[in-house]
Structure 1
Amino acid sequence: MTQQNKIRICVAGATGWAASALCKAIIKTPDIELVAAISRSNAGKNLSEVLSLDTEKNIPIFATVEEALQVPSDVFFEYTSPVIAKHHILSALRAQRQVIVGTSGLTDEDYASIEAAAHDSGRGVLAVGNFAISVVLLNRFAEMAARYMPHWEIIDYASDKKVDSPSGSTLELVSRLAKVGQPITTIPIQDTKGYPETRGAAINHTQVHSVRLPGYIVSLEAIFGMESEKLILRHEAGSSAEPYVNGALLAIRKVQLVKGFRRGLDSVMD
């Protein structure tokens, strides 16, 4: 493969836990080239040195998206925080980049603005709450279950250090289930005796319960119930970021074909 055929990528949040694992994998991937990065705490440095990448190439780290987008690239990979993610994404679309969103915590309103911007720019955005194949399968199975089991709730587990609640994976699952239908709640939440808040938060009519405690990394549990039976679908993440790498590489290759806005890795899978 020639240098010209490589997919050039800029990674925002490149020194973070998941993004750094992705950067290390990109260096070993012949059809993708890492050309720029964003990390305010490491601005002005060489990403190759900061992450001890297996390359002598100088990969500049910038403090802002405006600086990073001065470097020619094809794909912008957003992996920072919900505080700045929307600004990054809209800036990348204005600069005619294809965009992948790995940041969690963006709201439906944020995504509505992003979808409109993607259509206006003629570019594509692929928003993925979780790149792990196990989560992709959980989403698919949950959509199937919701068609036959009309009662469901979601439990979202994460470390006590996770600032957003619920997780991006949970929001993506809720969005998918909402397209299937609304779950049945036998007793309306407002009629709960005692403390209705303990029944969780209703997001698109699905009750979501978020647990934030030391010892958890990221877990997601969708529970479906019917009379005398229940189905539990659970994703459990380990301490390594490796499960997210293959899905992220797939997203980088597939986003080239996306126009407008798509949500979920499976939306671009064969």
Structure 2
Amino acid sequence: MPLRITLAGSTGWVGKALVAAIAASDDLELVGAVSRSAAGQDAGEAAGLSRLGVAISGTLEEALAAPSDVVIDYTKPGAVKAHALTALARGRSLVIGTSGLSAEDYAEIDRVALEAERGVLAAGNFSITATLLRRFALEAARYVPDVEVIDYASAKKPDTPSGTARELAELLSEVRQPATSKPVDELTGVRETRGGTLGAKLPVQVHSLRMPSFVLSCEAVFGADNERLVLRHDAGSSAAPYVAGTLLAARRVFSFIGLKRGLDAVMD
């Protein structure tokens, strides 16, 4: 029996690519779609495909009237937490591809998922190469104490930093060594130019650029005595890199209970 998918954000940049990939898959079935701007339209036609016979709902609650196994969410930062709690309350496992959630939001989702005995896999970036950036950066942080993250995105991206940068900084803070740079609270001048601070253990400085010509890029910059290491991921203009990782997550989200963050949690 195919894995039944409810897709929130079905008319978005990644959402349309996911509709096409699910429709072409032998082991996946799109049974529900959510998009407020396209409510009532056929999910296939709204994605530029032939008719699929799945009507787009205006809310996730409406879409969940159709039985499904997993919800994939690619909506907006302001909506994804409520969607996650709704999906778990309705007995669905969940894949979150939307960025912008805080550490506190993830902690609450984890608690609810454990109570519901459902799995949730969230990633700031489901690209395989972005996942490798994270893996290599975490390894480097064990040896080089000074690291900062630079996040690049288009002028219209609403959240800052990106989910990729936020997730990377929070994970680096757990494994890095104490920095040798002067603490921000000891600086003079305009302290805000040092960026934002993320991470619970040994916080990491994050700098976000928002301007035309960028799609999505993320750098982890490591500095040591007389040498420097830069690890960088650049996304292109297509949503294709995110599709395979998202569907891999959907297929494997039933292998655990609670919240896991990052595609590498199920890659191995």
* Counterpart among 110, 114, 123 of residue 115 in structure 1: 110
Q: Could you say what the CA RMSD is over the residues aligned between the two structures, in angstroms?
A: 1.1
Alpha-carbon separation, structure 1, partners of 2:138 and 2:175: 7
Alpha-carbon separation, structure 1, partners of 2:257 and 2:241: 27
Answer yes or no: is the 8 Å Cα contact 2:170–2:204 preserved in 1.
no
Q: CA deviation at 1:234?
A: 0.2
Alpha-carbon separation, structure 2, partners of 1:192 and 1:175: 23
2:7 equivalent to 1:8: no
Answer yes or no: is the 8 Å Cα contact 1:126–1:258 preserved in 2.
no
Q: CA deviation at 1:120?
A: 0.7
2:147 equivalent to 1:152: yes
Aligned residue number for residue 101 of structure 2: 106
* Counterpart among 224, 229, 232 of residue 230 in structure 2: 232
- Label 1:83 to 1:222 Cα distance change in 2 as closer, same or farther (>3 A): same
Q: Secondary structure at the match of 2:245?
A: helix
Q: CA deviation at 1:245?
A: 1.1
Alpha-carbon separation, structure 2, partners of 1:53 and 1:59: 12
2:34 equivalent to 1:38: yes
Moved more, 141-150 or 240-249: 240-249
Answer yes or no: is the 8 Å Cα contact 1:183–1:206 preserved in 2.
no
Aligned residue number for residue 73 of structure 1: 68
Q: Residues 73-132 of structure 1: CA distance to partner in whole angstroms, max 9, x if unpaired?
A: 001001101111111110000111010000000111111110010011010100011011
Matches within 5 A, 1:203-242: 203-204=198-199, 205-242=203-240
Structure-1-length-normalised TM-score: 0.96
2:162 equivalent to 1:164: no
* Counterpart among 135, 142, 153 of residue 140 in structure 1: 135
Alpha-carbon separation, structure 2, partners of 1:24 and 1:39: 16
Aligned residue number for residue 173 of structure 1: 168
In the alignment of these two chains, the number of paired residues is 265
Structure-2-length-normalised TM-score: 0.96
Alpha-carbon separation, structure 1, partners of 2:40 and 2:256: 32
Alpha-carbon separation, structure 2, partners of 1:187 and 1:51: 50
Aligned residue number for residue 252 of structure 1: 250
Q: CA deviation at 1:53?
A: 2.1
Alpha-carbon separation, structure 1, partners of 2:30 and 2:178: 44
- Label 1:151 to 1:57 Cα distance change in 2 as closer, same or farther (>3 A): same
Q: CA deviation at 1:170?
A: 0.8
Which structure 1 residue ranges, 5 or more long, are not aligned? Answer: none
Q: Which one-letter code corresponds to 2:11 in the other structure?
A: T
Which structure 2 residue ranges, 5 or more long, are not aligned? Answer: none
Matches within 5 A, 1:54-65: 54=50, 56-65=51-60
Percent identity over paired residues = 51
Matches within 5 A, 1:124-135: 124-135=119-130
Alpha-carbon separation, structure 2, partners of 1:91 and 1:211: 33
Aligned residue number for residue 53 of structure 1: 49
Q: Post-superposition, which runs of at least 4 consecutive aligned residues in structure 1 deviate over 4 A?
A: none
Q: Secondary structure at the match of 2:142?
A: helix
Q: Which one-letter code corresponds to 1:267 in the other structure?
A: A
Alpha-carbon separation, structure 2, partners of 1:105 and 1:13: 15
- Label 1:60 to 1:185 Cα distance change in 2 as closer, same or farther (>3 A): farther
Q: CA deviation at 1:182?
A: 4.9
Answer yes or no: is the 8 Å Cα contact 2:118–2:254 preserved in 1.
no
